[in-house]
Amino acid sequence: MKFKEIYDNFIKPFVEIVIYYLTNKMKFTNEVNVIINDITNSDTDKDCGFIKRILYYFLLFIYFVAILWIIIDIIMKNNYLFNSYVARAFRSQLLFADIPEFYQLKNIIYINDSFSFDFHFIFFISVLLIIYGIYYYFNYNLTQFFKDKFEIEFNLFIPFVIGSIFFGILFYIYNSYNIIVLSNKSNTITQIIYDNINKDFIDKAKLCNYDEERKNSNDGDFIKGKCNDLKLHFTTSKFYYYITNTINEMYSNSKTKKMTVEKFMTLKNNNDVSYKDLLISSFFTYTFMKYYADNNLYDNAKEIFSKSNLNTFFYKYRINPILDFSYNSILFNPSNNDLNFNNPLMKEAFNNNKEIYYYVYNEYYEICNNIQNNIVDVYNICSSKTICMYYYYLIIGIIMLIIVIYYFRITYLKLNN
């Protein structure tokens, strides 16, 4: 097919239809502007007329911005959905964040155990309601001036808005219970993780470069306050060194040579933090950070272990670490040879005290097991008990595409008759 044929059959009709569409919208805007001026100028109170004019223009501005936002949001959501499925064919390692059914966790706001909601979805439906509300106000409450103007101009878009609201309500009703359960499980995992990240270990071992300037190109862009240079600073030897110092400090403060588990459970440091909590959380923090290091997730770790994220008092506003977990191996696996007591370095770090080690390890293992069980529940809910919200955007995206194709077709026939 020659370029002239392509131009005549495809490019030229497309340009003509776009110009026709924009011309009609400009004509509609001018007509509405004339009507608004007539309404406000006819008002005996000039101040009242001026306020009405500002109100009408403001509503129209919100109306068109909301329409533009809805269209862009639908395109972006479907673009993510398309990319996520393409990525599955090429990526060797998939994270929960790469799967739409799990990525929707990012949008869920946890309020309490009885109430949670998908913020993006609620906002999307709210914008649709605003669009219809403004349309209804102009087309019906001001009928004598706007009669048929809005109805004719938006005869395809408004039914789409109404249908989107209807389908949205059905989706939400179907998913509402499972969203609450999913949010509770996700919140539980997030809380357990952040409660057991040992900031003392991170600071004393200098695992993250928070404040110094970047001195090595391996870490990429340096951002103050983020966990920079983890690739350079994270080592197993620092973990053993922290355990050794904590155990030595504990023995020194207790002034005893023989340490029983009962005694160990009661001891605290100068900051009134129990040594058992420091050791248990250091096991967890080491395993958690090692997961990021082993899987080359340094950019993710930079955010997760940033000062702002770790120091937030309300955990529900923190980054959800679940999305960084591997989809191919959903279990948060605590097994690690570095944590084995038979390892001479571990044995030395615990001062050969096997009883204390096994108490610490068993508590650490229980934390991991708790996370593991909740991850399995999240996996089951996302994969089989809910309809992914991104499928809602896919459905209305397909409907929107059909409407656009229909408009192009009828406009093409109109221009060529």
Pair (340, 203) in one structural domain? yes
Count structural domains, the chain: 2
Pair (166, 212) in one structural domain? no
- At residue 238 the predicted structure's pLDDT band, cuts being 50, 70 and 90, is very high
Residues written for the chain: 417
Q: What is the mean pLDDT of residues 102-111?
A: 83
Let me know if residue 29 belongs to a domain. yes
Least confident of 103-107, 121-125, 129-133, 299-303: 103-107
What is the structure's pLDDT at 241? 93
Let me know if residue 290 belongs to a domain. yes
- At residue 43 the predicted structure's pLDDT band, cuts being 50, 70 and 90, is low
Q: Which two tokens stand for residue 280?
A: 């248990």
pLDDT per position as a tens digit, 294-319:
888 888 899 899 888 888 665 557 88
Let me know if residue 1 belongs to a domain. no
Pair (98, 203) in one structural domain? no
- At residue 46 the predicted structure's pLDDT band, cuts being 50, 70 and 90, is low
Q: What is the mean pLDDT of residues 49-70?
A: 87
Pair (358, 410) in one structural domain? no
Under 8 Å between Cβ of 261 and 344 = no
Dihedral-angle region of residue 412 (phi above 0 means left; psi in -120 to 50 means alpha; beta otherwise): alpha
Percent of the chain with pLDDT over 90: 25
Let me know if residue 307 belongs to a domain. yes
pLDDT per position as a tens digit, 151-201:
676 778 888 999 999 999 998 888 888 888 988 998 899 899 999 999 999
Pair (221, 267) in one structural domain? yes
Q: What is the mean pLDDT of residues 235-241?
A: 92
Q: Which two tokens stand for residue 297?
A: 């997730």
Pair (379, 401) in one structural domain? no
What is the structure's pLDDT at 270? 85
Chain centroid to Cα 386, Å, comes to 18
Let me know if residue 11 belongs to a domain. no
Under 8 Å between Cβ of 274 and 268 = yes
What is the structure's pLDDT at 397? 92
Pair (51, 140) in one structural domain? yes
The conformation of residue 97, written as its DSSP 8-state character, comes to G
What is the structure's pLDDT at 47? 62
117: β partners: 109
Amino acid present at 266: T
Pair (40, 89) in one structural domain? yes
Under 8 Å between Cβ of 134 and 59 = yes
Dihedral-angle region of residue 351 (phi above 0 means left; psi in -120 to 50 means alpha; beta otherwise): left
Look up the domain containing 161 and give its range.
Answer: 17-183+389-415
What is the structure's pLDDT at 343? 86
Residue 360 has pLDDT above 90, yes or no: yes
Pair (352, 406) in one structural domain? no
Let me know if residue 308 belongs to a domain. yes
Pair (154, 260) in one structural domain? no
Under 8 Å between Cβ of 227 and 241 = no
Give the span between the Cα atoms of 403 and 33, in whole angstroms: 27
Let me know if residue 284 belongs to a domain. yes
What is the structure's pLDDT at 25? 72
Pair (393, 375) in one structural domain? no
pLDDT per position as a tens digit, 286-295:
999 998 888 8
- At residue 399 the predicted structure's pLDDT band, cuts being 50, 70 and 90, is very high
What is the structure's pLDDT at 2? 61
Let me know if residue 356 belongs to a domain. yes
What is the structure's pLDDT at 60? 86
**Angle, alpha carbons 83-88-91 (nearest 5°):** 105
Pair (210, 311) in one structural domain? yes
Q: Report how far apart the first and last C-alpha atoms of the chain are (Å, whole number).
A: 25
